[in-house]
């Protein structure tokens, strides 16, 4: 952007936009202002030829294909604003405080001005991301539930196989609650071990996605995220401790719930019936 101040009528284009226009650095593009002047032939738009002095890419297709930058001085001359501007863009330290800041600023400025923050500019996009996050959590919960059914099946098989041993323990005076507790502990250990492995693998994968995805794309000559379709060209990854904790707790809870039926069944083993054919 510094190149805009070194010469008049310079412009910086997004790379995708420059590719669509077929121009590069040093090329010429013509900008048309709808606010034209009145002539004997009618209202004619203002035309001005700009020289491309640079290209930019932010990885978001909507910006790379639809945005261009010119200097404030050139924009004022093109639109006939003298020293005026059509809008101001502000940056604050905490981006998540932007909605409250915008609301307060709108109150101070009054209805003559329109204030919009970044959450409103991309409101539909962020709503879609929020819905996607909820759906992904539900899908992960269902996957964990399927794994929990495996714990149920495993413990039921163990109870069936150990009925004679359970009966002997019962005849020795072990209470049904203690039998139930033994199998609950066994299922909890299985769930804890599986959760630990899953969390460790998931964290390692999340931390290395920016490296793994480009390597896979290069090796197989594919592109997972086409910028024309998904608006982004790279797969971002940000590890949130809160999400990891929620998933881990959900896995542990389902693992514990999966132990209830097998342990209850083990506690109800009838010693006489189990030892009849032993």
- Tens of pLDDT, residue by residue over 77-123, are 888 888 888 888 888 999 889 999 999 999 999 988 999 998 888 78
Specify the pLDDT at position 52: 92
Q: What is the mean pLDDT of the chain?
A: 85
Among 121, 120, 96, 90, CA closest to 108: 90
- Whether 39 has a pLDDT exceeding 70, the answer reads no
Q: Tokens in use for 255?
A: 């693992």
Q: Residue 100: exposed, middle, or buried by beta-carbon count in 10 A (0-12, 13-18, 19+)?
A: exposed
| pLDDT over threshold 70, residue 36 | no
Torsion 152-158-160-163 (CA) sign: negative
Report in angstroms the alpha-carbon separations of 61 from 1, 166, 228.
19, 65, 6
Residue 27's pLDDT band (cuts 50, 70, 90):
very high
pLDDT at 129 > cutoff 70:
yes
Tell whether the model's pLDDT for residue 43 goes beyond 70.
no
User: Is there a contact between 60 and 232 (Cβ–Cβ < 8 Å)?
Assistant: yes
Is 277 in contact with 193 (CB distance < 8 Å)? no
- Nearest CA to 72 among 164, 143, 1? 1
Strands 68-70 and 42-56, bridge-based pairing: unpaired
Does the structure show a pLDDT above 70 at 42? Answer: no
pLDDT of residue 126: 81
Write down the pLDDT at residue 38.
Answer: 63
Question: Who contacts 194 (Cβ-Cβ below 8 Å, separation ≥6)?
Answer: 147, 251, 255
Structure confidence at residue 41 (pLDDT):
64
**How many CB atoms lie under 10 A from the CB of residue 252?**
17
Structure tokens at 82: 């003298």
Please give the pLDDT value at position 278.
Answer: 63
Residue 277 predicted with pLDDT over 70: no
Going by pLDDT thresholds of 50, 70 and 90, the confidence category of residue 201 is: very high
- Name 207's Cβ contacts closer than 8 Å, sequence gap at least 6: 237, 239
Range scoring the smallest mean pLDDT among 41-55, 160-174, 193-207, 240-254: 41-55
DSSP-derived letter for residue 7 is: S
């Amino acid at each position: 952007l510094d190149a805009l101040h070194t010469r008049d009528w310079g412009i910086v284009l997004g790379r995708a936009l420059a590719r669509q226009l077929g121009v590069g650095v040093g090329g010429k593009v013509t900008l048309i202002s709808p606010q034209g002047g009145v002539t004997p032939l009618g209202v004619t738009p203002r035309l001005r030829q700009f020289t491309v002095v640079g290209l930019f890419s932010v990885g978001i297709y909507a910006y790379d294909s639809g945005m261009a930058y010119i200097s404030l001085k050139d924009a004022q001359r093109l639109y006939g604003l003298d020293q005026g501007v059509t809008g101001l863009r502000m940056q604050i330290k905490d981006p998540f405080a932007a909605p409250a800041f915008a609301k307060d600023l709108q109150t101070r400025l009054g209805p003559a001005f329109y204030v919009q923050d970044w959450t409103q500019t991309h409101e539909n996009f962020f709503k879609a991301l929020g819905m996607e996050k909820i759906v992904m959590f539900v899908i992960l919960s269902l996957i964990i539930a399927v794994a929990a059914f495996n714990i149920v099946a495993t413990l039921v098989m163990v109870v069936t196989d150990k009925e004679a041993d359970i009966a002997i323990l019962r005849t020795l005076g072990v209470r049904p609650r203690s039998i139930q507790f033994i199998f609950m502990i066994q299922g909890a250990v299985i769930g804890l071990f599986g959760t630990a492995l899953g969390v460790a693998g998931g964290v390692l994968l999340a931390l290395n996605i920016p490296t793994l995805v480009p390597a896979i794309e290069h090796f197989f000559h594919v592109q997972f995220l086409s910028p024309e379709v998904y608006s982004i060209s790279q797969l971002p990854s940000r590890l949130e401790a809160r999400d990891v904790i929620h998933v881990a707790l959900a896995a542990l809870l389902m693992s514990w719930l999966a132990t209830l039926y097998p342990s209850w069944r083990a506690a109800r083993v009838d010693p006489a019936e189990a030892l009849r054919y032993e």
